[in-house]
Amino acid sequence: MKTVCLPSGETVPALGIGTWYLGEFAKHRADEIACIRLALDSGVRLIDTAEMYGEGAAEKLVGEAIAGRREEAFLVSKVYPYNASRQDAIAACERSLKRLGTDHLDLYLLHWRGGVPFEETLEAFTRLKATGKIRHFGVSNLDTDDMEEWYASAGGQACATNQVLYNLGRRGIELNLLPWLRQHKTPVMAYSPIEQARLLHTQTLRDFARDTGISPLHAALGWLLAQDDVIAIPRTGRPEHLREILQAAQSPLSAEHVAELDRLFPRPKRPIPLEML
Ligand SMILES: NC(=O)c1ccc[n+]([C@@H]2O[C@H](COP(=O)([O-])OP(=O)(O)OC[C@H]3O[C@@H](n4cnc5c(N)ncnc54)[C@H](OP(=O)(O)O)[C@@H]3O)[C@@H](O)[C@H]2O)c1
């Protein structure tokens, strides 16, 4: 599977999996756990979660799914902005570790910008790293001006990723944030890569699928994975959907198909503020 290089030099497969809304309903639990395990069996390592997801329920599900095979996973979790202060971020991370049943996270992100100064969050992240509770840290939902401020804050240059909304229909970052991140060798983690499944039902992608035989899912994920520094983290609670995702990631699109999707889903003409879901 294609890999993306993090600023530390470590590589991770460009396809990871998301966990928003997982772990919330007992009747889906077995399928959701099967999905996470199937992902690991298939070489997907990066599992994205957050203390916010089901108020810890997603982290608990992930913990159960990876029990006994922690070393196969690259675990990403996120701290609520209101927990991101000097003291609270340490406590929030420890709660996440407990729910996940591990002693360290591979990557810990500030979920979005809140009222806590970046310096405080960075102090906490730096301490967590020094004590081995996290291996890397990064951010999510920061636009270019926020990234500049993060980078200018003490320790901020050790930023492993910016996790943002990015898919065929949300290409605003290509005008400013993405070039900025590339200049700083910071990969993007693309969340909602299929726009919570809404992209799959657009007439444009259905027509593309009819004309090319490439499914809407394959087109949407393949377009993201065609870029060298983009990690995509689709989410599913259904093993049959995960199999489609895995197949899509294993069959890169041709340059012609990528160019056609670029044409069908043009980037905005003028810069727009970073979009969030
Ligand atoms: N940092 C942030 O602020 C932020 C914000 C949003 C998301 N995220 C992260 O990014 C992850 C992914 O984003 P997302 O969950 O918003 O949306 P997404 O991955 O774009 O879409 C998820 C939806 O697509 C469906 N789906 C998945 N595979 C499918 C397939 N093969 N065929 C048909 N439908 C399929 C899923 O339903 P089924 O379960 O029925 O398959 C689910 O409803 C999240 O889970 C989370 O980890 C981060």
Pocket mutation for ligand 1, best pick of 236, 243, 247 (most atoms within 8 Å of C-beta):
236
Q: What are the tens digits of pLDDT across the range 182-193? A: 999 999 999 999
Active site residues: 53
User: How far from 13 is each of 7, 131, 270, 273, CA to CA, in Å?
Assistant: 14, 26, 32, 29
Strands 188-191 vs 3-5: parallel, antiparallel or unpaired: unpaired
Mean pLDDT, range 22-46, rounded to an integer = 98
Q: What is the Rg, in whole angstroms, of the alpha carbon atoms belonging to the chain? A: 18
The model's pTM is 0.98
Backbone angles phi, psi at 5, to 5 degrees: -90, 125
Report the percentage of the chain scoring pLDDT > 70.
Answer: 100
What's residue 1's pLDDT?
87
Identify the pLDDT of residue 216: 98
Matching CATH number, 3-264, of 3.40.50.300, 3.20.20.100, 3.40.225.10, 3.40.640.10: 3.20.20.100
194 lines ligand 1 (CB under 6 A): yes
What is the best residue among 194, 202, 240 to mutate for testing ligand 1's pocket, by most ligand atoms within 8 Å of CB?
194
| CB of 267 shorter than 6 A to ligand 1 | no
Decide whether any atom of ligand 1 lies within 6 Å of the 234 Cβ. yes
* Exposure of 113 in the CB half-sphere (CA atoms within 13 A): 16
Residue 193 Cβ < 6 Å to ligand 1: yes
pLDDT digits (tens, 9 = 90+) for 168-217: 999 999 999 999 999 999 999 999 999 999 999 999 999 999 999 999 99
- Given a cut of 90, is residue 229 above it in pLDDT? yes
Rounded to the nearest angstrom, the distance between the alpha carbon of 123 and the centre of ligand 1 is 32
Does the beta carbon of 191 lie inside 6 Å of ligand 1? yes
